[in-house]
Amino acid sequence: MSIISFFITNLLPYITIVIFIGGLIYRIQGWINTPLPMPLSVTYPKSRIDQIIKILREILLFPSLIKNDRNLWIGAWPFHAALAIIILGHSRLFTTIPDKILFTIGFTPTGIKALSTILGGIAGIVIMFSLIYLLARRFTEITVRNMSNPMDYLILIWLLGIVIAGNYMHFYNAPYTDIAEMRTYLKSIFILEPIAPPGSTVLLIHMFLVQILLISLPFTKLIHPIGIFFTQGIKNSLVLLRNVK
Amino acid sequence: MKNDDPNENNPFKISPSPSTSTPFPSPPEFFKELKLKTEMVSDAEKPNKALEAMEEILNERQSIRVYMDTCTKCGACAESCHYYLGTNDPNNMPAHRVDLFRKVYKKHFSIEGKLLGPLVGAEKMDSSVLEEWYKYFYSCSECRRCSIFCPFGIDTAEVTMAAREIMLRVGIGTKYANEIISKVHKIGNNLGIPELAFWSNLEFCIEEIRDTMGVSVNLPGTKKNPTDEIAQAKIGAEILYVPPSADLFVNIDTQIGAMLIFHAAGADYTMSHSASEAANFGLFQDYADLKAINKRIVDEAHRLGVKKVIFGECGHAWRAFKNITEKWNGQLNFEIEHIFQYTERLIQLGKISLDKTQITQLVTLHDPCNYARGSGLLDPQRYILNQTATNFIEMDPKKTRENTFCCGGGGGMLMDELMDLRMKGAKPRAEAVRDVNAEYLAAPCAICKAQLRLAMDHYKLNTEVGGVLDLVGKAIKITKMDASNDISSKESKKKTKCSLCEKEFQSYDECANHTEKSHEISKNQADMCCEPQ
């Protein structure tokens, strides 16, 4: 194992875990510890059910974007939907629970593999093109370009790097196909007896980029999926739900 | 219509350009009356003191911290802001406006900014930043249209309020807002109407009603001696009515409408000089004054022992009082209601009846931001207008209800020196009014009325601007007549002379018709020039 490979696969994961979890706690704790003297930004829900449906719709379909900025929705919704599928797919590397659920509803191991190849493949393509679209939009749409700083582009390029490496492995190269080997490696990390992962330079690049992204997540705008629960959009609606008569 | 004339240049076609107008800074003496603790420091010290104030605010307001961290610069908000649409100035895009605050936050209060600096757009707080803040946080009317467009619900208005408070703490503020807040604390209302004028203006309204409708309504107060000039609020009355003070001065018809509603319903209501102002400019700039200004009304309502406080046509007043008072000013021994909710119920119960045929103009409704997005008051005024006017039409649904466009003068922006920006910001609203060809624009908010009257002129629209209650006042059927009416109706049959052209008429009504046709003075204001002989 080269020193770079050792760093990325056996050392960096621990740094990532500590900073990622520590950073999340730091950030969320920072929000929680700050009082909210008055929820000034309130929207009044009509009824409880109404509001719950509205919140779920907002999280699942981004309807406010369909209504207000369709050009953005065309990139943003497919991106997040594909990302959700990809995260679910990757969860199979860490746990066998998804496989067990699929077995119980009647999937065979070949079936699961086919599902992951097809669904993962579609998600990989969709997320790649939606990222290219979002990046192009940031460059070309004058209003968005005006409000962007280098980090906004960098994050998109970084994600694109991760996706391209991932897609390469999915379609051409195959540590992926041997999910068991990846599981053994990841397990070794968690039992603090790290071993070498299935050898592939692309996998190394992929893992490196992902870990840096996770390290930066609590400190950059990537925190937004958690932030949304603290802004008017949802949090105040939930507070108000208690007051709905 | 005028704007169809090809020879006349069309104000809608002037392409947007940045505004150079900035508010007049407040002289130091106007800071003295503020309840907010302010510190007059030299210009050199301001950036550092402002940072200290900023740290305090960040530690006090969770929302600001969350907004700073959560924005992804997705750009969904960009074209939601009327000031951006009117000026094309990038700093007027909501995300960009908040970024003026965020860049300082990143530099001084975030790990990301401390490590990566300009890469994430972090910038040091200095006097040029404060100058930018002053210009652009006073180019925001806190209407919160952007917060509806933001997928995360980030509220630029709250950041604007925070930035203004930070600036105020180091002695940077506007003459306009500070003067108004001082007047509220010292005299009791925004316009600085003293007690005597308050009561005599109400008596003027009563005379108006007697002259135009032949109805005698009671003064919402009591006098120890009938000869007293100053009346007192009625202790133990059921209702305290709190209008914006502009209703007693410029929007008299709105006040008259409210008085006729109370009269027709036979309500036991009172008004008080100590609560003669619904508006609360504290909401626009600092929490301390917001709280103190609300407290006046709470204290007065408790002193009078009223069961209910009813608010008049003022957008932010309703939001500031309804949403905030109970939590900040403690237990309330009275109910809070808006005059629209009250009127809606009266109509539904059949306690007042309206004659739709009185209002034949094509009427449309402007939703003030603070009703629509601040307190969910949307339907009662629509119900009232449908019952009041024969032709009520809605504007484009993308520009009404929660999506309503600001009039361009709210949020403490109604300054003469900002006229250029105000008119540019009024464009989206004026366009929507033009598209429905409305003859009457009901704008149930004192600020909206003042701003939209000018905007209609600026955009060459023949649309009259007034309140909802104005129309109710004209359409309301009053059945009770008493002796005093007969006298006044006889009076209205007296020979009347128009002071503008010296013509004589057989009755006041004829003269009023004449002034409307010949001098473009509406019937309601005909008394300006019609003098009974």
Cβ neighbours of A33 (radius 10 Å) = 10
A146 interaction partners in chain B (CB closer than 8 Å) = 90, 93, 96
pLDDT greater than 50 at residue B319: yes
Query: Is A245 a domain residue?
Result: no
* Min Cα–Cα distance to chain B from A91, Å: 26
Would you call A230 and B61 a contact, using CB atoms and an 8 Å cutoff? no
Q: Is the same domain home to B337 and B360?
A: no
Would you call A41 and B147 a contact, using CB atoms and an 8 Å cutoff? yes
Q: Is the same domain home to B470 and B520?
A: no
What's the structural domain count of chain B? 4
Would you call B154 and A39 a contact, using CB atoms and an 8 Å cutoff? no
Q: Does B44 touch chain A (CB under 8 A)?
A: no
Q: Is the same domain home to B230 and B316?
A: yes
> Which residues form the domain of B525?
492-532
pLDDT greater than 60 at residue A177: no
Amino acid identity of A205? I
Q: Do β-strands B362-365 and B335-338 pair in parallel, antiparallel, or remain unpaired?
A: unpaired
Q: Do β-strands B476-477 and B353-354 pair in parallel, antiparallel, or remain unpaired?
A: antiparallel
Per the CB < 8 A criterion, the answer to whether B269 and B240 are in contact is yes
What's the structural domain count of chain A? 1
- Band of pLDDT at residue B374, cut at 50, 70 and 90: confident
**Which residue is associated with the tokens 């209703």?**
B247
Q: How many degrees, rounded to 5, is the angle at CA B55 between CA B49 and CA B56? A: 95
Residues of A (4-33) whose Cβ lies below 8 Å from B = 27, 30-32
**Phi, psi angle pair for B530, to nearest 5°:** -95, 115
**Which residue is associated with the tokens 């929000």?**
A31
Amino acid identity of B163? A
Q: Is the same domain home to B202 and B309?
A: yes
pLDDT greater than 80 at residue A156: yes
CA dist., res. B519 & res. B526, Å (int): 10
Q: Is the same domain home to B217 and B296?
A: yes
Give chain A's length: 245
CATH number at residue B44: 1.10.1060
Q: Does A60 touch chain B (CB under 8 A)?
A: no
Q: Pick B73's closest partner by Cβ from A152, A219, A236.
A: A152
Q: Does B151 touch chain A (CB under 8 A)?
A: yes
Would you call A230 and B96 a contact, using CB atoms and an 8 Å cutoff? no
Q: What is the pLDDT of residue B486?
A: 41
Residues of A (163-222) whose Cβ lies below 8 Å from B = 216, 219-221
Query: Is A81 a domain residue?
Result: yes
Q: What is the pLDDT of residue B522?
A: 62
Q: Do β-strands B239-242 and B269-270 pair in parallel, antiparallel, or remain unpaired?
A: parallel
**Residues 6 or more apart in contact with residue B261 via CB below 8 angstroms:** B339, B342, B343, B346, B352, B469, B472, B473, B476
What are A6-27's pLDDT values in tens digits?
999 999 999 999 999 999 999 9
CATH number at residue B395: 3.40.50
- Band of pLDDT at residue B524, cut at 50, 70 and 90: low
Query: Is A115 a domain residue?
Result: yes
| Joined tokens for residue B289 | 């004054």
CATH number at residue B500: 3.30.160
pLDDT greater than 80 at residue B513: no
CA dist., res. B469 & res. B476, Å (int): 10
pLDDT greater than 90 at residue B442: yes
CA dist., res. B325 & res. B291, Å (int): 8
Q: Which is higher by pLDDT, B482 or B242? A: B242
Q: What is the pLDDT of residue B444?
A: 95
What are A68-105's pLDDT values in tens digits?
888 999 999 999 999 999 999 999 999 889 999 999 99
What are B386-399's pLDDT values in tens digits?
999 999 999 999 99
Q: Do β-strands B391-393 and B362-365 pair in parallel, antiparallel, or remain unpaired?
A: parallel
Average pLDDT over residues B364-390: 92
Q: Is the same domain home to B273 and B371?
A: no
What are A201-241's pLDDT values in tens digits?
888 999 999 999 999 999 999 999 998 888 766 655 555 54
| Joined tokens for residue B47 | 């950036």
Q: Do β-strands B496-498 and B530-532 pair in parallel, antiparallel, or remain unpaired?
A: antiparallel
Q: What is the pLDDT of residue A83?
A: 97
Would you call B287 and A233 a contact, using CB atoms and an 8 Å cutoff? no
- Band of pLDDT at residue B87, cut at 50, 70 and 90: very high
Query: Which ranges in B277-426 belong to alpha helices (H)?
Result: 282-285, 287-304, 315-329, 339-348, 369-372, 379-388, 419-425
pLDDT greater than 70 at residue B520: no
> Which residues form the domain of A126?
3-18+65-237
Rounded mean pLDDT of chain A? 87
Q: What is the pLDDT of residue B15?
A: 86
Rounded mean pLDDT of chain B? 89
Query: Is B179 a domain residue?
Result: no
Q: Which is higher by pLDDT, B325 or B438? A: B438
Q: What is the pLDDT of residue A36?
A: 81
CATH number at residue A10: 1.20.950.20
Would you call B67 and A147 a contact, using CB atoms and an 8 Å cutoff? no
Helix (H, G, I), strand (E, B) or coil at B229: coil
Query: Is B75 a domain residue?
Result: yes
Query: Is B3 a domain residue?
Result: no
Q: State ipTM.
A: 0.90
What are B332-344's pLDDT values in tens digits?
899 999 999 999 9
Q: What is the pLDDT of residue B482?
A: 45
Would you call A151 and B287 a contact, using CB atoms and an 8 Å cutoff? no
Cβ neighbours of B335 (radius 10 Å) = 11
Would you call B90 and A230 a contact, using CB atoms and an 8 Å cutoff? no
pLDDT greater than 50 at residue B120: yes
Q: What is the pLDDT of residue B489?
A: 44
pLDDT greater than 80 at residue B182: yes
Q: Is the same domain home to B390 and B424?
A: yes
Q: Is the same domain home to B202 and B325?
A: yes
Q: Is the same domain home to B342 and B200?
A: yes
- pTM of the entire structure? 0.87
Q: Which of A68, A70, A135, A148 to mutate to test the interface with B (most CBs of B within 10 A)?
A: A68
Q: Which of A27, A41, A83 to mutate to test the interface with B (most CBs of B within 10 A)?
A: A41
Q: Which is higher by pLDDT, A199 or B209? A: B209
* Strand ranges in B147-242 using DSSP code E only, listed in sequence order: 239-242
Q: Is the same domain home to B302 and B239?
A: yes
Average pLDDT over residues A163-191: 84
| Joined tokens for residue A134 | 């979002």
Q: What is the pLDDT of residue B435?
A: 94
Question: Which chain A residue has the Cα nearest residue B320?
Answer: A40
**% chain A with pLDDT above 70:** 88
Q: What is the pLDDT of residue B485?
A: 41
CA dist., res. B131 & res. B137, Å (int): 10
Q: Is the same domain home to B149 and B261?
A: no
